Amino acid sequence: MSSQRDDSGASADPADPADPAARTPPRHVDLHTHSTASDGLYAPAELARLAHEAGLDLIALVDHDTTAGVTEAQAAGQALGVRVMPGVEINTTLFGAGDAHILGYEVTPDDASLDRNLSLLRDLRERRGERMVEKLRVAGFEISWEQVRALADGTVGRPHIARALINGGYATDVSDAFARYLTPGKPGFSPRYKLSADDAVRIIRSARGIATLAHPAAIADLETSVLPRLVAAGLQGLECYYGPRNEATSYGYYDDTTVAWLVGLADRFELIATGGSDYHGPRMHPTPLGGRYVPPVAVTRLREAREAALARPAEEFILPTPEL
Ligand code: AMP
Ligand code: FE
Ligand code: FE
Ligand code: ZN
């Protein structure tokens, strides 16, 4: 055990746990997980325990618009030999239409500008949730904002509205609730605040994190327009390994051909090829925790990029408060 540890010479990184074993390369990793700090079903400590059971030695916790779960997950993980990389996922609108989710890896969790930006985004989510519940009430659904809010420990999102609809007997599961009520054109849909994907990249870079485009397979014009534009804004990674190899996800198919195409794009645009399950707990997305193989070299490359980010001049970015 201790023979693998080497704490000589390596420079300290505030994102790293104090344990020098944190610098040995991990072997089984999942870089896309969610906890109850946002719309996951398991508390951060429970997620770390499940990761250990799944044979993982590193997970990235990328809750929506918050890093609040990171400390708890790291503390629980440390006792089990599971490292927890701090991260965040920011759902954005891609240049006017369509969703793009930006992952931020190795962000400084308590960075002041990050805190301010994410807290604004969480406020905007509260208002969007209220609008969605109001639309549902007008359409005759007997659910309340208080019920929805009580289902969320932290960042609120459509999955919490879905759970309130399930509890009210209006849907059988989260996917059913999304399909029938919570997507564009359906009675409970109201758009999220239109944060541009480039601004999400700037938010991540301001916290010296590594901005990565999540589950990109189904994004239109990825190669010709989206990646060139996001790379110009500072994107550094592409989530290439995602979803089951033989089953569709809400964000497209990730069969071997698609993954090879994405890895080729990552190479061409000099992006780090990352991946993960998008685990939120059972019955939300199809991949089990650790269920998609991710080459662990991704972690090494993210750490190198983090060190470079810590060494470069600050790129402070504060989102302007929107006029609503
Ligand atoms: P929001 O950011 O509030 O618009 O909610 C989007 C979140 O809902 C995503 O991050 C997913 O975790 C989840 N989600 C999106 N589509 C589905 C679906 N079809 N079934 C289950 N969860 C979904
Ligand atoms: Fe989610
Ligand atoms: Fe996502
Ligand atoms: Zn996610």
pLDDT of 96: 66
Is residue 287 within 8 A of residue 248, CB to CB? The reply is no
Looking at residue 232, its amino acid is: A
* Ligand of minimum distance to the alpha carbon of 285: 1
Distance between CA atoms of residues 71 and 14, nearest Å:
12
* Mean pLDDT, residues 72-83: 98
Lowest mean pLDDT among 22-31, 42-51, 312-321: 22-31
Does residue 9 register a pLDDT over 50?
A: no
Model pLDDT, residue 94: 87
Tell me if 153 CB under 6 Å of ligand 1: no
How does 226-265 read in b/e, with b if 16+ C-beta sit within 10 Å?
bbebbbebbbbbbbbbbbbeeeebbbebbbeebbeebbeb
For residues 280-295, average pLDDT: 96
Instruction: Assign 2 a pLDDT band (cuts: 50, 70, 90).
Output: very low
Whole-prediction pTM value? 0.93
Q: Which of 178, 180, 277, 287 to mutate to test the pocket of ligand 1 (most atoms within 8 A of CB)?
A: 178
- For residue 68, the CA-to-ligand 3 centroid distance in Å is 18
Domains of the chain: 27-118+196-311 (3.20.20.140), 127-182 (1.10.150.650)
Q: Which pLDDT tens digit goes with each residue over 183-198?
A: 999 999 999 999 999 9
Average pLDDT, rounded, for the chain: 93
Ligand 1 close to Cβ of residue 39 (< 6 A): yes
Q: Is the pLDDT of residue 163 over 60?
A: yes
Supply the pLDDT for residue 160.
98
User: How far apart are the C-alpha atoms of 207 and 124, rounded to whole Å?
Assistant: 20
Share of the chain above pLDDT 70, in %: 92
Q: Is a pLDDT exceeding 70 seen at residue 266?
A: yes
What is the per-residue pLDDT across 200-224, written as a single tens digit (0 to 9) for each?
999 999 999 999 999 999 999 999 9
Buried b (16+ CB within 10 A) or exposed e, 16-53: beeeebbeeebebbbbbbbbbbbbbbbbbbbbbbbbbe
Question: Following DSSP, what letter does each residue of 239-260 receive, concatenated?
Answer: EEEES-TTS-BTTB---HHHHH
Best mutation site among 34, 35, 39 for ligand 1 pocket (most ligand atoms within 8 Å of CB): 39
Rounded to the nearest angstrom, the distance between the alpha carbon of 158 and the centre of ligand 1 is 6
Q: Quick check: CB of 155 below 6 Å from ligand 1?
A: no
63 lines ligand 1 (CB under 6 A): no
98, pLDDT greater than 80: yes
**What's the pLDDT score for residue 18?**
52
pLDDT of residue 22: 60
- The amino acid occupying position 79 is A
Whether 106 contacts 75, CB under 8 Å = no
Check if 93 has its Cβ closer than 6 Å to any atom of ligand 1. no
Q: Is the pLDDT assigned to residue 5 strictly greater than 70?
A: no
